[in-house]
Amino acid sequence: MAHTYRAICPDGIDISPDMIEFLGDFYRISDIPGEHDQYVDLFMPSATFILASKRASGKEGSRLQPASPAQTAMANSQPEIMNTRIGMWSAVASRRHTVHKVFPSSNSSNEFMLYGSVALGLRSGANIDVDWAARADIVKAADGKWRMKFYQVYLDTGAITAAANQ
């Protein structure tokens, strides 16, 4: 499939365009090395993020440098998510997500299953394409922005490790 961050919805299912835009922005920002603060800002302060077998939850303290009261609250919330985000780049030099489809749990739900692929350029010099699936629960924050309340990624980390060790 051609690369796109814009997920396709199944026929007969309507998802708010701003939710689709948020999901596309989430993967676009995920693909930019160094955009750690912007990535973490896409999560609620008490969010849970599970990447394969690694679980991260919001707690006090973070690297974020707040510029407003809303950002101060955000900055005091996601150190584990920040650490996971930084760790996502330890063996990866580049990544490019392609979002294939998004499936809401119902027509009026903010909970989704998604699937796609990610092209990874590893620091070892290897390149690999990996299929992934994710479960996302998004909520509208007090500042009016969509954010992840819960996000879990399912992918084959063994294939990535094998490619990194070639």
Residue-wise pLDDT tens digits, 38-68: 999 999 999 999 998 889 987 434 444 444 4
The answer to the question of residue 7 being in a domain is: no
Residue-wise pLDDT tens digits, 18-41: 999 999 999 999 999 999 999 999
The answer to the question of residue 2 being in a domain is: no
CA of 78: how far to CAs of 19, 84, 90, in Å?
Answer: 22, 10, 19
Quick one: pLDDT at residue 147?
97
**The pair of three-digit structure tokens given for residue 54, joined into one six-digit string:** 């690694």
Quick one: pLDDT at residue 68?
45
Total-model pTM: 0.84
CATH number of residue 152's parent domain:
3.10.450.50
Q: pLDDT-derived band of residue 77, with 50, 70 and 90 as boundaries? A: low
DSSP states of 36-102 as a string? HHHHHTTEEEEEEEEETTEEEE--S--S---SSHHHHHHHTT-HHHHHHHHHTTSSEEEEEEEEEEE
Domain region containing 87? 17-164
- Please report which helix (H) or strand (E) contains residue 148, including its range: strand 146-155
Q: How many domains would you assign to the chain?
A: 1
Say whether pLDDT at 10 is over 60. Answer: yes
The answer to the question of residue 63 being in a domain is: yes
The answer to the question of residue 73 being in a domain is: yes
The answer to the question of residue 4 being in a domain is: no
Q: What is the CA radius of gyration of the chain?
A: 16
Quick one: pLDDT at residue 9?
84
Q: pLDDT-derived band of residue 90, with 50, 70 and 90 as boundaries? A: very high
Q: How far apart are the first and last CA of the chain?
A: 27
Q: Is 141 helix (H, G, I), strand (E, B) or coil?
A: coil
The answer to the question of residue 41 being in a domain is: yes
Average pLDDT along the chain: 87
The answer to the question of residue 112 being in a domain is: yes
The answer to the question of residue 6 being in a domain is: no
Q: Is 159 helix (H, G, I), strand (E, B) or coil?
A: helix
